[in-house]
């Protein structure tokens, strides 16, 4: 796989060695068991895969290249390139300004842009409408387009399905930049609908089967379907794609459920005429990170820590997995670890950072599960490990532990 040129401060002396060792031991990535860093007072169990994915490293490399190649020009990011505050803060410090926030709210007017300005498209991509507006201004949006190749793969698959007469069902969060971008493209070709989870899929299935009156489709899915969507006609032949940061297992479950509904209605012998096979649109990196986190669930830990941006969809799903079994703390970086008895953790359900006491248990030896989102630099994982070792007054050196890997 390609190696990217990203700033050295995103790399990590600890994690880089752990990942390098695992790559040698498991080059085909078939072993999803965690990496273990065994100290005298603490053992860290690191998920097999975590941190920067291909799309994120690609985006960071392109953004820094844009700065290097255009020292005299104004450089803008359409919105947050990735959902990590450390990365976005760094880009701001070196002179990049954001045109929009993650919800699409305008921070800098497009009218203030000039043709010679550099506009970087984020890894999530953007809508056709915004692309057209920037083209009218004259901005070159291709030179530094950081859209993830796996997001583009979903777009291409959606386009092919739409041209074959399928309605596109997008498993995603309607407000997320990536889903808005995918929806804009599928909507230009075919009827499209965004569903958030299995609950919405079941409701849709009942509309397809006739258990719920089709008139209820419109208020239930308000704002999530294309103009002139007709449930009677547009739910006969479908294909499911996803926002690449959603739980891959949930996308697969939703697809399997809708397939079963269509088999019940039209017969197994006719299913190919009503349901497309879209397994090839799942992002390998998201899948690897989620599978690695699920493997952590096979063991017992005193607590789990997930590191990443609080508005990161893929990171949130890692928290959802781990908190079902362990006391789980979602932090953006080591600064949230106040003391052995206090940590500031993001509550994914109520959407706020809460103060949580009794952070590190009073035990002779503590087992901690660790992972991070796909937009989280490995250096932040390093800093969290170092912070905990300091708080616990660990007397075994990191170098000694790394030699034992």
Q: How confident is the model at residue 1, as a pLDDT? A: 58
Q: How confident is the model at residue 349, as a pLDDT? A: 96
Q: How confident is the model at residue 273, as a pLDDT? A: 95
Q: How confident is the model at residue 164, as a pLDDT? A: 95
199 assigned to active site: no
Q: Domain ranges in the chain? A: 8-52+285-403, 54-137, 152-280
Q: What architecture does CATH give domain 152-280?
A: 3-Layer(aba) Sandwich (3.40)
Contacts of 70-75 with C-beta under 8 Å, sequence gap 24+, read 70/118, 73/116, 73/117, 73/118, 74/114, 74/117, 74/118, 75/117, 75/118, 75/120
| Mean per-residue pLDDT pooled into runs of 10, the chain (405 residues) | 76 90 91 96 97 88 92 91 83 90 90 95 94 94 92 94 96 94 97 97 98 97 97 97 89 95 96 88 82 95 97 92 97 96 96 95 96 92 96 94 88
Strand-pairing partners, residue 320, are none
- Say if domain 54-137 classifies as CATH 3.40.50.11270: yes
Query: Among 57, 178, 250, 383, which one carries the catalytic annotation?
Result: 178
- Say if domain 8-52+285-403 classifies as CATH 3.40.1010.20: yes
Both tokens assigned to 195: 């569903």
Question: How many Å apart are CA 19 and CA 210, to the nearest integer?
Answer: 51
**C-alpha angle with apex 308: 305 to 310, nearest 5 degrees?**
105
Domain 8-52+285-403 shares a fold with domain 152-280 = yes
Q: 3-class DSSP state for residue 382? A: helix
């Amino acid at each position: 796989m390609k190696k990217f040129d990203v700033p050295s401060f995103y790399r990590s002396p600890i994690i880089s060695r752990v990942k390098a060792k695992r790559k040698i031991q498991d080059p085909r990535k078939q072993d999803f068991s965690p990496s273990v860093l065994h100290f005298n007072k603490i053992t860290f169990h690191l998920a097999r895969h975590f941190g920067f994915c291909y799309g994120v490293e690609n985006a960071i490399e392109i953004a820094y290249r844009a700065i290097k190649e255009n020292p005299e020009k104004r450089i803008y990011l359409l919105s947050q390139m990735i959902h990590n505050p450390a990365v976005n803060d760094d880009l701001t410090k070196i002179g990049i300004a954001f045109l929009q926030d993650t919800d699409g709210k305008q921070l800098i007017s497009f009218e203030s842009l000039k043709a010679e300005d550099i506009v970087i498209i984020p890894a999530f991509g953007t809508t056709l409408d915004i692309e057209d507006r920037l083209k009218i201004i004259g901005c070159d949006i291709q030179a530094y387009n950081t859209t993830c190749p796996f997001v583009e793969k979903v777009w291409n698959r959606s386009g092919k399905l739409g041209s074959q007469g399928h309605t596109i069902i997008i498993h995603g969060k309607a407000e997320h930049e990536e889903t808005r971008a995918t929806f804009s493209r599928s909507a230009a070709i075919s009827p499209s609908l965004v569903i958030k989870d299995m609950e919405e899929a079941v409701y849709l299935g009942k509309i397809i089967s006739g258990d719920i009156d089709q008139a209820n489709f419109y208020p239930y899915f308000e704002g999530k379907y294309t103009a002139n969507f007709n449930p009677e006609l547009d739910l006969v032949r479908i294909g499911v794609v996803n926002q690449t940061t959603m739980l891959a297992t949930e996308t697969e479950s939703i697809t399997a459920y809708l397939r079963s509904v269509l088999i019940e209605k039209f017969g197994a012998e006719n299913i190919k005429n009503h349901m497309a096979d879209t397994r090839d649109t799942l992002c390998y990196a998201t899948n690897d990170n989620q599978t690695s986190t699920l493997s952590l669930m096979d063991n017992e830990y005193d607590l789990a820590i997930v590191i990443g941006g609080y508005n990161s969809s893929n990171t949130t799903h890692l928290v959802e997995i781990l908190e079902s079994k362990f006391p789980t703390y979602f932090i953006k970086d080591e600064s949230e670890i106040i003391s052995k008895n206090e940590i500031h953790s993001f509550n994914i359900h109520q959407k706020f950072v809460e103060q949580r006491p009794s952070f590190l248990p009073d035990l002779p030896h503590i087992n901690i599960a660790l992972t991070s989102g796909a937009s989280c630099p490995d250096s932040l994982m390093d800093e969290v490990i170092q912070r905990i070792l300091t708080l616990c007054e660990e007397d075994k050196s990191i170098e000694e532990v790394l030699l034992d890997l």
